[in-house]
Amino acid sequence: MKESRHTCYTSFHCLDCRNQFKCKREKEMKRDEREKAYKEDKVPECELCNVKHFRCLTKKCTMCCELNKCRTYPCQYCIDNNIECKYSIIKSKEEFEKFKEKNMSAFIGQLELSKEGVCHVQAYCQFKKKVLMANIKKMFGDNSISFPDIMR
């Protein structure tokens, strides 16, 4: 019997913005603190840009604010720099073939909008063998991919 591993994931922001607007994140909310804050206040308003988004706890860091501007497809940063806006999603059979070499057997994904109007990837992928979540992040080159607790 073949082993299979399947999971869903979500990823916000295009890969170029994620790489361009990295903050040092010397101080960052832990996941449970962020979830508690979200339940209490939803998304907090940033004191620097006066827009609602989660940010690192470094008071003068503006990289979180710049990353938060990546809300559409294609995003303004990619348009301004005349580059293809890439998300952590497989868009062609040729791309899928590369992932197939890494034991991926199925992939379904799409870009969609959240309630707040933020573009993000929702995807399902299945592998022939069990794969660590960290390896999935590595495959897509996106360490911001999040996995729902129920599928872990």
Instruction: Give residue 102's pLDDT.
Output: 92
Does 114 share its domain with 140?
yes
Range of the domain at 53: 22-69
Say which residue the tokens 């988004």 belong to.
53
pTM: 0.78
Does 9 share its domain with 26?
no
| Per-residue pLDDT tens over the stretch 89-114 | 999 999 999 999 999 999 999 999 98
What's the first-to-final CA gap in the chain, in angstroms? 21
Does 3 share its domain with 30?
no
| Per-residue pLDDT tens over the stretch 31-88 | 677 667 666 667 788 888 998 887 787 888 899 899 999 999 999 999 999 999 999 9
What's the structural domain count of the chain? 2
Identify which of 89, 94, 83, 106 has the alpha carbon closest to the alpha carbon of residue 145.
Answer: 89
Instruction: Give residue 2's pLDDT.
Output: 34
Cα–Cα distance measured from residue 34 to residue 42, given in angstroms and rounded to the nearest whole number: 10
Does 101 share its domain with 140?
yes
